[in-house]
Amino acid sequence: MQRRSFLKNAGFSALAGAAAVGAPAVAQSNPKISWKLTSTYGPSLQPFFRASQSFCRLVEEASDGNFSIRLYPPGELVPGFGVMDAVGNRTVECGYTASYYYYGKDPAFCFDTAVPFGLNVRQLDAWMLEGGGLELMRELFATRNIVNFPMGNTGTQMGGWYRKEINAVSDLKGLKMRTAGFAGEVLSRMGVVPQQIPPSDIYPALEKGTLDAVEFVGPLDDEKMGLQKVAKYYYYPGWWEGSGQVSLYVNKDAYEGLPKHYQAIIGLASRHAATQVVAAYDAGNAAALRRLIAGGAVLKAFPKEVMDAAFNTSNQVYQEFCNKSAGFKKVHDSYMAFRNEVAPWFRVAEGAYDNYLGIALARAR
């Protein structure tokens, strides 16, 4: 009896010891972590705002509530265009923004969002994930102490709203247009006077004549501004944004301090949110465009003369930047080589299919 009692007590002691060791181990592998996420985009840009909300929710759910990220709209913690600095210096652990806003820091950041006559959504996705693009952009962002994750895309954007028709390159001369970054650099060579104006000031500036034209995003977002009431000519395509990728920025030190499975959760949650953004724009733009036209917008394609001049000017600017910066050239050469490789295939397959289907459906009406 004494022997059995000893073994029983010894067994309980061993289990208690194992529990004492095991519980802290589990806690250490699933630590309680709270982060802040600042965004350039508030509720007025619903596809982006919903994606950031979805990202935060998925991170918390996948970590069983142990890893929480609180979303702060622009201006609550830092200005909307201060995301890169805030994440880099760890004022916040992560942020949501478009990299071409930081053109002034390094023009190569634009390749993470959009450049003139660049890749469309799927092509950019392919370059990032299969063509070495993500590795190149990670090298660039590391100089700012940031790890970047693609987290959404607008698709090909519109060419903007104009108070007068654009029939030739000469019509661009002296045009005061809300645009910036790489697009502004190219358009300025074509005679446009670029203006940086926040979204909230766009409508009154057009109404008062302070602006002659505005490029923003596309029908889903543009419709909310009512721009067709003051600048009725709606041009396409937005050749400076064949796609418009937005990204999640994570402070590098904060990221490397996470358990590996928390790092994986960030990657998976950002990927899900990215798909959600593309779907929102693809689902919403068509109906929004029809409503804009019904409300007075006049849909027009840029003349070939303007497109050709823009293409040639863009190539000149690219060459100038490549000559100035080896870092820019490294990313540029990879990006453009990939574009030149895949664009003919898209023209043969999806381009031909989409063009025929559009014509056939128009005939059938």
Q: Which domains does the chain have, with CATH numbers?
A: 27-154+244-282 (3.40.190.170)
Task: Report whether pLDDT(237) > 60.
Answer: yes
Residue 75's pLDDT is: 93
Note the pTM of the prediction, 2 decimals. 0.90
Mean pLDDT of 250-257: 98
Residue 189's pLDDT is: 96
What is the DSSP track for 70-87? Answer: EEE-TTTSS-TT-HHHHH
Residue 28's pLDDT is: 64
Task: Report whether pLDDT(16) > 60.
Answer: no
Among 347, 58, 7, 41, which Cα is nearest to 216's?
Answer: 41
Mean pLDDT of 161-167: 97
Label residue 73 exposed, middle or buried (CB < 10 Å: 0-12, 13-18, 19+): middle
Residue 23's pLDDT is: 43
Among 112, 53, 101, 30, which Cα is nearest to 272's?
Answer: 53
Residue 27's pLDDT is: 54
Task: Report whether pLDDT(14) > 50.
Answer: no
Mean pLDDT, the chain, rounded, equals 92
The answer to whether 192 and 274 are in contact (CB under 8 A) is no
Tell me whether strands 245-251 and 146-153 are parallel, antiparallel or unpaired.
antiparallel
pLDDT tens figures, 23-69: 454 556 789 999 999 999 999 899 999 999 999 999 999 999 999 99
Residue 249's pLDDT is: 98
Structure tokens at 296: 């007075």
pLDDT tens figures, 326-336: 999 999 999 99
Would you report the helix, strand and coil content of the chain in percent, each value rounded to 5? 60, 15, 25
Tell me the angle at which helices 133-142 and 121-130 cross, rounded to the nearest 10 degrees.
80
Residue 77's pLDDT is: 96
Length of the chain counted residue by residue: 365
Tell me the angle at which helices 326-346 and 121-130 cross, rounded to the nearest 10 degrees.
120
